[in-house]
Amino acid sequence: MLPYYELRHTVGFEETNLVGNVYYVNYVRWQGRCREMFLDEHAPEVLEDIRGDLKLFTLSVGCDFFAEITAFDRLSIRMRLEDLTQTQVGFAFDYVRLRGDAEDLVARGRQRVACMRGPNTDTRPTRVPEALRRALGPYGPGAPGAPSGRPAGSSSGG
């Protein structure tokens, strides 16, 4: 089993700007799509719970860009569990361009989600559902094949 959940995507013209490279907001859209497909494939009980009163609020999202991508580039969006608390989930995303046998990391993103319950006027934090905890387990820190420490070539500032 891979240490990440993977969503494959081919970039379309509608995802590029006038210059021809991918418009930055699409990276965030792909994060959401990757997360949704993960739930559909690995934790459908959570989707049923969302139809009830569970809400997954995105608290923060970000992306660092390393290379430009353009229409018809083939991507692998790879989602990993970065951290898990009682009420929140931190996700990490690697955007990898696929060219034959070559893979290039073109961006890296993060997302933090809070689990909430209740009506829209009175939502309160709730525990991350057990079905989601189980589904994320193989993709988290300490999972076989999961990255450890900082990515190659990274350094800490100081």
Q: Which pLDDT value is given to residue 145?
A: 64
Question: CB of 70 within 8 A of CB of 121?
Answer: no
pTM: 0.87
d(Cα 87, Cα 36) in Å, to the nearest integer?
Answer: 18
DSSP string, 110-121: EEEEEEEES-TT
Divide the 158 residues of the chain into consecutive groups of 10 and give the mean pLDDT of each group. Answer: 93 93 95 97 96 95 97 98 98 97 97 94 95 96 60 36
Rounded distance between C-alpha atoms, residue 33 and residue 3, angstroms: 19
Question: Can you give the pLDDT at residue 156?
Answer: 35
